Structure 1
Amino acid sequence: MEQQTRTSARPLGAALKPRQLTMMGLGSAIGAGLFIGSGAGIQAAGPAVLISYLVAGTLIILVMWALGEMAAANPDSGAFSVYTAKAYGPVAGATVGWLWWLQLVVVIAAEALGAAGLLATIFPALPVWLMAFVFIVVLTAVNLTSVKNFGEFEFWFALLKVAAIVGFLLVGFALLFGLVPGVQSPGLSNFSGAGFAPSGFGGIATALFVVAFAFGGTEIVSVAAAETAEPARSVKKAVRTVLWRILVFYIGAIFVIAAVVPVGSAGLKSPFAAVLDAAGMPGAATAITLVAVAALLSALNANLYGASRMAFSLAERGEAPRFLASVSKGRVPVVAVLASVAFGVVTVVL
């Protein structure tokens, strides 16, 4: 009865496919935190940052297992906001929902400007504000189409990032095993002696701040469950595959970077490019920059989706202005999408 009361006359669609849900969770977690922030983690803890990733990864597994169970049992666009409200009351639920929404709308603006700033290093003639505005307009248009089209767009966006990381791992391990012609393997000397944890336990603890940020985004799977066909089966598959893929990609990539790039190296500012440069691959910096731009735009796309669905859910529960629950003929919360992207537009103008 409660579900019927909250559901609008024209509810959201349920057209997301399991593969799209899986890639959405994977793509949201693979962003600037991995491509750029991983260098900061290694700088803080040395190769011992792998311990930080394992600790954070374990916590992510436990949280996502629990969140996946709740999302499968009660798929709702408000996800953890709704579950919090059921456990602790409407005030707690609304607080969690609004805090998450506010975080995402700020991140949307930061990702648009960040992607534009990175692209400007390759094409300096293009104004940053103009590129950021174009990114926002295009991805807003994507989010205003049916959820099926959004899911397909995000699927290919995320697949690009996954392919880039797989390629990086192949090159990295070939370098470590001495299989790159004309290039001597750096070996595992960075992992020996005091060089493994140059800053001790304090460095490992400090790196956890960077690592926790990098893993953010996996929770969007629980939000998208409400618009997925057969949510119980889809969420179970998505949570299971997202978790092991993230751990493989993150741990594998960090292992390669830590083995190749020593602590204190200027290459840690762009760690992926540093590894590819060490392997003697021309144009590595440009290629990684373009992948990082795609990573930021993919995360922007997914975060705009998540923010709009949370605003929609809050409005349905009377915790936000009712007009945010307006749904188009395509079963998309149009007003919630526009409200969620508005901060990004204002930021670009400023």
Structure 2
Amino acid sequence: MPQPESPAAPEVPGAAPAASAPTAEPLAGGLRQRHLTMLGLGGVIGAGLFVGSGEGIAMAGPGITVSYLIAGVLAMLVMRMLGEMSAAMPASGAFSVHAERALGRWAGFSVGWLYWFMLVVVLAVEATGAAQIAHGWLPGVPQWGWVLLFMLFFTGTNLAAVKNFGEFEFWFATLKVTAIVVFLVLCVLAIFGVLPDTDPVGLSNLTGQGGFLPRGWSGVVSGVLAVVFAFGGLEVVTIAAAESDDPARSVARAVRSAVWRILLFYVGSMLVIVALLPWTRIVPGHSPYVAVLDTIGVPGAAQIMNVVVFVALLSALNANLYGSSRMVFSLAERGEAPRALLRTSRGGVPRPAVLASVAFGFVSVLLNLEWPDTVFGYLLKAVGAVLLFVWALIAVSQLRLRRRLEAEAPEKLVLKVWAFPALTWATLAVMAAVLVLMLLDDAARPQVLWSAGATALILVVAGVREVLSRRTARG
């Protein structure tokens, strides 16, 4: 028997009226606390860290640790806000539902469709990246064949039962977290000269080659711009919490356990990397993790990291397919997407929503394979800064809903953002500063402009729908 969906979030006094949604069959409730905890820990540990961090080190030198600390604190504050709202008002649409209740239908529609668009485009990147690695191992299978295999496999697992998604993500995340912990332990031993054939390195690599901030604070800022988007993916935890047995308690525990551990993994990794290797030896586009493992004498370091990155890409593909299907299902629940997407299986899986998400994923994969530098390049630019827009709407929603909950239902605030509202305003200010800095950066500017264009298009559609809806209501 399918378990009932998590209880609907309470109506928040003063909130904009939600769209009248058709009755939907309930989603399954098959996710357990261990699934959410590992999803919170492993959700942001991906190729952006294992490979993309090399670009940040090249920009900031040892100061990349400060860049990751700033970006990580920003991501964790957003996660805390999202956790606060999701624990008080669990919903399969998470921040889309919160934005609708806080700001109106236009906000829920806009942030929901923007996030869905971002996930299905990034899904193509992950499928292609994993296929490139697999093709290197078995060149007899063409790259497109691997893409097809991965997409079909994860479509099947997501169509079967939500617990399949939870189990795959649990083991994917466990492998990634284990890899990071082993890496940190080996590096610390190497730093102190405990490993065979290693001598203590001291602080020479942190203070040599131009000092701790060889490119000054401008390098640290450039590093933040390069690494902040690596923290995307945490949001899926709050979406998944709605399908757990105790949504409010589950999301609160997952957020609390993830915050400091993720900062440790990211900042700790960067610190040991720049301590063991001169930052000038890090090559952008190549994994600094491989370079460090080679330096301390770990045999087959490149292949080991290839396996870890491969798992990270498949994990992200799985999570993005899950997150996009639940987001579009939630939009359909509120009348913001076609009603057909509301159908669920006997096990409570929204199969039409899964198929709709993976269908666009297949299209974007084809665009990526055929026109990686033209059509697909524009799609990537269009979602490049969307994460910051989503985070900003999360913060604004939290500002409004927190005050309403404090006045009307304080007992539901089981997880709170510290120093409210000052810390929320500070987070918004930092996000605005990041966007301004991206506009001033020649490499990042196209992402902001294209993402702003995509956002404006969605907002126009939301505005037109709002006007038409009001005219219809007036008769």
Band of TM-score, shorter chain: over 0.9
CA RMSD, Structure 1 to Structure 2 (Å): 1.8
Mapping of 1:298-317 within 5 angstroms?
A: 298-317=315-334
| Residue 325 (1) aligns with residue 342 (2) | yes
CA apart distance, 1:172? 0.9
CA-to-aligned-CA distance 1:176-232 (integer Å, 9 cap, x gap):
110111133433212115331111111111111222111111111111111011111
The answer to whether the 8 A contact 1:101-1:310 is kept is yes
Amino acid at match of 2:360: F
1:224 is matched with 240
Give the greater-gyration-radius structure (CA).
2
**What does 1:1-350 align with in structure 2 at a 5 Å threshold?**
6=21, 8-192=23-207, 194-267=210-283, 269-349=286-366, 350=370
Aligned-partner SS, 1:258 = helix
Deviation at 1:119, TM superposition (A): 2.7
Rounded to whole Å, the distance in 1 between the matches of 2:149 and 2:49 is 25
Q: Retained in 2: the 8 A contact 1:261–1:271?
A: no
Name the aligned partner's letter for residue 39 of structure 1. Answer: G
Cα shift at 1:63: 1.5
Asked whether the 8 Å contact 2:172–2:311 carries over to 1, the reply is yes
With normalisation by structure 1, the TM-score equals 0.95
Q: Is the 8 A contact 1:33 1:210 kept in 2?
A: no
Question: Given the two structures, how large is their TM-score scaled by the length of structure 2?
Answer: 0.71
1:7 deviates by 7.3
Give the CA deviation at 1:258.
1.4
In the TM superposition, what is the alpha-carbon distance from 1:270 to its structure 2 partner?
1.2
CA distance, structure 1, for counterparts of residue 162 and residue 22 of structure 2: 17
1-structure distance, mates of 2:87, 2:206: 42
Structure 1 residues 141-186: Cα deviation after superposition (integer angstroms, max 9, x where no partner):
1111211222112101110111111111111111111011113343
Contact 2:38/2:173, CA 8 A, preserved across alignment: yes
For residues 215 and 89 of structure 1, do their structure 2 counterparts lie closer, same or farther at Cα, with a shift above 3 Å needed? same
Structure 2 counterpart SS, 1:208:
helix
- Note closer, same or farther for the CA distance 1:7–1:190 as it changes in structure 2 (3 Å cut): farther
CA distance, structure 1, for counterparts of residue 21 and residue 254 of structure 2: 26
Secondary structure of the equivalent of 1:227?
coil
Following the alignment from structure 2 to structure 1, what is the Cα–Cα distance between the partners of residues 133 and 178? Answer: 20
- In structure 2, C-alpha distance between the alignment counterparts of 1:2 and 1:187, rounded to whole Å: 55
Give the gaps of 5 or more residues in structure 1: none
1:43 aligned partner, one-letter code: A
Aligned residue for 2:280, secondary structure, equals: coil
Answer whether contact 1:25 1:221 (CA < 8 A) is retained: yes
What is the Cα deviation at residue 266 of structure 1? 4.8
Q: Counterparts of 1:99 and 1:257 in 2: how far apart (Å)? A: 35
Shift in alpha-carbon separation, 1:8–1:148, aligned structure 2, 3 A: farther
Work out whether residues 119 and 290 of structure 1, in 8 Å CA contact, stay in contact via their aligned partners in 2. no
How far did 1:9 drift?
A: 4.0
In 1, are the aligned partners of 2:54 and 2:282 still within 8 Å (CA)?
no
Q: Measure, in 1, the Cα distance between the counterparts of 2:58 and 2:201.
A: 18
Bigger shift: residues 229-238 or 1-10: 1-10
Instruction: Give the distance between the partners of 1:347 and 1:72, measured in 2 at CA.
Output: 34
Partner Cα distance (1:228, 1:172) in 2: 37
Number of positions where the alignment pairs a residue of Structure 1 with one of Structure 2: 350
